[in-house]
Amino acid sequence: MPGSRADRRGGGGLPAGPAASRLAGPPPLSPRDFARLGAFIEGRCGIRMPPSKRTLLESRLGRRVRELGLAGFGEYCDHVLGDAPGDEVVRMVDHVTTNKTDFFREPHHFELLVRDVLPALAAAAGAGTRRPLRVWSAGCSTGEEPYTLAMVLLEAARQATGLRFGILGTDLSTRALERARRAEYTEAQVRPVPLAQRRRYLLRSIRDPQVVRVCREVRELVAIEQLNLLDPDYRLRERMDVIFCRNVFIYFERSVQQRVLLRLARALSPGGFLFLGHAESIAGLEVPFDPVAPTVYRLREDA
């Protein structure tokens, strides 16, 4: 069936004519197709797609267009926005999310958590003492943030025996979540982990000495699940005491930020704490949080 999609996908033989030009990459992403894809991505994940992102989207999705053997972005749009199987949408979302993260990123947050937030929550709600403290890393990417939280809280538990806690890490990106569950990192990735904690909580892989794995004790404290922050209902089993939602809001429109913040507020227990990334703020938004430190907020008791 020459010219059919199946034919274009098939290998074998030397590419010639149109096939050869496909190897050079699909034709540019037109403003119309960009607008179609951008609207879909914004609606599905909240990620802003201003015109300045056209080149980025073109380069991130161009390889996928080639892999599928499609003639161009127009066909890709029809495919992904039309009758494509759900996993193609998942794949596209994986391509458009920015998963940059680090162990011990913005370390002052972890210091503040142990020094000020744990005692405040223990005093107010018995969180961590009378019942386990519940911490949520929302937009956890490849897992460095929830595993950092687990290490920091394990260290705190060494000082204050009896501290009990559980951590939930969620993200939209399937690919990022797979890596978070694997909990395997390179030597360079674990460099920000302080030496004492590296010794206690990270193990060199027997299979591959270049790979370092988070130890079982830490992994077992962290549940990794998929969750889209745009979902109207997060269906969490229990309310959280602390939410880290850092470096996620920067990708959202103001109206999406407001909507998601109200849902996060509903997911927090009264007096719970919210940590945002260094470039994020709730200023100007109608949300029931009081600032307690730069980028750290507390849910109002009467919320």
The interface region with ligand SAM, picked from 13-21, 34-42, 146-154, 171-179 by CB under 6 A, is 171-179
Beta strands 222-226; 202-204: pairing state: unpaired
CA distance 147 to 101: 12
Which residue in 33, 36, 91, 171 is the catalytic one? 171
Which residue in 5, 44, 60, 239 is the catalytic one? 60
The interface region with ligand SAM, picked from 40-48, 110-118, 124-132, 191-199 by CB under 6 A, is 40-48
CB of 159 to ligand SAM, least distance (A): 25
CA distance 73 to 30: 8
CA distance 114 to 149: 10
Among the listed residues 36, 101, 163, 297, the single contact to ligand SAM using CB under 6 A: 101
CB of 169 to ligand SAM, least distance (A): 9
The interface region with ligand SAM, picked from 29-37, 113-121, 190-198, 245-253 by CB under 6 A, is 245-253
Question: Where does 172-249 show beta strands of DSSP type E?
Answer: 184-186, 202-204, 211-214, 222-226, 240-245
Encoded one letter per residue, x for contact with ligand SAM by CB under 6 A and - for no contact, window 106-145 reads ---------------------------------xxx---x
247 is a contact residue toward ligand SAM (CB under 6 A): yes
Please name which of 172, 146, 8, 142 lies closest in space to residue 75, comparing C-alpha atoms. Answer: 8
CB closer to ligand SAM out of 22 and 259: 259
CB closer to ligand SAM out of 234 and 269: 234
- What is 126-191 written as a DSSP string? -BTTTB-EEEEEET-TTTHHHHHHHHHHHHHHHHSTT--EEEEEEES-HHHHHHHHHTEEETTTTT
